[in-house]
Amino acid sequence: MEIAVLAYDGMTALDAVGPAQVLALMPGARLRWVAEQPGPQRTDCGMAITAAHALDDVRTPEIVLVPGALDVRGPANSPALQAWLRAAHATTAWTTSVCTGALILGAAGLLQGLRATTHWAAMDALKKTGAEPVHERVVREGKIVTAAGVASGIDMALTLVALIAGRDVAESVQLGIEYDPQPPFDAGSPRKARPEIAEAARRVLTTRRP
Among positions 92, 95, 146, 159, the unique one binding a second copy when judged by CB under 8 A:
159
CA dist., res. 5 & res. 120, Å (int): 23
Q: Are 38 and 99 in contact (CB under 8 A)?
A: no
Q: Residue 10 CA to chain centroid, in angstroms?
A: 14
Pairing of β 144-147 and β 138-141: antiparallel
Identify which of residues 15 and 114 has a Cβ nearer to a second copy in the complex: 15
CA dist., res. 141 & res. 204, Å (int): 31
Among positions 6, 13, 76, 104, the unique one binding a second copy when judged by CB under 8 A:
13
In the complex, minimum distance from the CB of residue 108 to a second copy, in angstroms, rounded to a whole number? 23
Q: Note whether 89 binds a second copy by CB under 8 A.
A: no
In the complex, minimum distance from the CB of residue 82 to a second copy, in angstroms, rounded to a whole number? 22
Q: Note whether 33 binds a second copy by CB under 8 A.
A: yes
CA dist., res. 46 & res. 196, Å (int): 29
Strand partners, 139: 146
CA dist., res. 97 & res. 16, Å (int): 9
Q: Which of residues 54-83 bind a second copy (CB under 8 A)?
A: none
The residues binding a second copy (CB under 8 A) are 5, 7, 12-14, 17-18, 20-21, 24, 30-33, 40, 44-52, 99, 119-120, 137-138, 148-152, 154-155, 158-159, 162, 167-168, 170-172, 174-185, 187-190, 192-194, 197-198, 200-201, 204-205
